Amino acid sequence: MAFLASWFIDDQWIPFLRMGYSEGDAALNERNISIGLGRYFSRNGDLLGVGLSWGKPATDGLENQVTSEAFYRIQMSQNWAITPSVQVIFDPALNPEKDVIAVFGIRSRLNY
């Protein structure tokens, strides 16, 4: 089960809240809560955002995981965006030997 709420404030700010619950071992987390804030730049549609999430792993014995993320979505054209990001994961559930890890990423989105 999942829930997402987001809304625009002054046509440039977009706070969001996500929550999820899962039973069984198919999902990494049994419970997850995420909050964040984004800022749209109206001249080109770019989006700068930060988020924080907490997750309780579905597997017993694993530590709860906290993740922070910062990203910047670059609107390349009306239908294409590229989003570089950095995530810092505290007590990574699937890497219990580490206390903190960083993950650098890049996503691409194409709308038809």
Domain with residue 33: its CATH number is 2.40.128
Quote the CA–CA distance of 72 and 95 in Å, as a whole number.
Answer: 27
Structural domain count of the chain: 1
| Structure letter (DSSP) for residue 22 | -
29-51 residue pLDDT tens? 899 999 999 999 877 889 999 99
Show the domain range for 60: 2-110
**pLDDT at residue 24 is higher than 90:** no
pLDDT of residue 23: 87
- The CA–CA distances, whole Å, from 7 to 10, 20, 37, 108 equal 10, 19, 10, 23
Q: Length of the chain in residues, anyone?
A: 112
Here the tokens at position 37 are 């804030």
pTM for the whole structure:
0.84
Pick from 88, 90, 46, 82: nearest CA to 69 = 88
Q: What's the chain's average pLDDT? A: 93
Here the tokens at position 5 are 């709420």
Mean pLDDT confidence for 93-108: 94
Quote the CA–CA distance of 34 and 54 in Å, as a whole number.
Answer: 6
